[in-house]
Homo-oligomer: A and B are copies of this chain.
Amino acid sequence: MSPGSEKPRRRTGRRPGSSTAREDIVKAATDLFARQGYDVTSLRAVSRAAGVDPALVHHYFGDKNGLLEAVLVDLVRPTAVFQDVIENPTGEDVGERLVRAFLGLWDADETREPLLALVRASFSNEHAAERLGGFMTGNLLARIIGDVNEATMRAALIGSQFVGLAFARYVLALEPLASADSDTLVKMVGPTVQRYLTAPSDELVGVHD
């Protein structure tokens, strides 16, 4: 839509640190992670694809884990995709609205492929697993859940249903779940998320967080 989305990915002669360099690095990393996987993508390959000096990648992101975090933030854009839930985090339909926002991320090719690559990377790379888990519960769900009892356990439980839903639908392609429409899934999985959000603390016995 925007003119920016049509610009060529590789540029030459850019000034180091120009205003779009950071953004171009994130886009290049997202693309490479999705196409060839997180583990085999080097920072050098990212800088080459983005047309920037490798030092600039280090400058902005430190290491590959820092870059992964930036890719996640850019993909999920917490305040955009989940804005409705963040602004209205209560009510009987918050579980359904959360599922709908989550499915929106995964139903779009440009977010699904890199997200799948990062989920896959978490199997072979402990740091990637830690970042992905930390992002999901810390950056994302914690903002929505807010300051309630057992907030981290609630976030982890919702995370477990979300990651399992994505896995069953897009990796295992379990039918009829894989070809169900979003409305159906929202109706079926919404109450699960609602319960994890609002169940009384005494149902979360034995949890010390």
Query: A residues near B, CB below 8 A?
Result: 116, 119-120, 122-124, 129-130, 132-133, 136-137, 152-153, 156-157, 159-165, 167-169, 171-178, 180-181, 183-184, 187-189, 191-192, 195-196, 199, 203-209
Contact = CB atoms under 8 A, between A and B. Distances in A.
B161 A160 contact: yes
A165 B164 CA distance: 7
Contact of A176 (B124, B174, B187, B207): B207
A206 B180 contact: yes
Contacts of A184: 204-207
A61 to B, nearest CB: 22
A98 to B, nearest CB: 15
B175 A168 contact: no
How many identical subunits does the complex contain? Answer: 2
Contacts of A188: 153, 157, 196, 199, 203-204
Contacts of A165: 160, 164
A152 B172 contact: no
B156 A168 contact: yes
Contacts of A116: 123
A168 B160 contact: yes
B176 A169 contact: no
Contacts of A189: 157, 160
B172 A129 contact: yes
Nearest to A208: B176
22 contacts: A116-B123, A123-B123, A123-B171, A129-B173, A133-B173, A156-B175, A156-B177, A160-B168, A160-B169, A160-B174, A161-B161, A161-B164, A163-B167, A164-B168, A175-B209, A176-B209, A180-B207, A184-B207, A188-B196, A188-B199, A188-B203, A192-B195
A198 to B, nearest CB: 12
A184 to B, nearest CB: 4
A171 B116 CA distance: 14
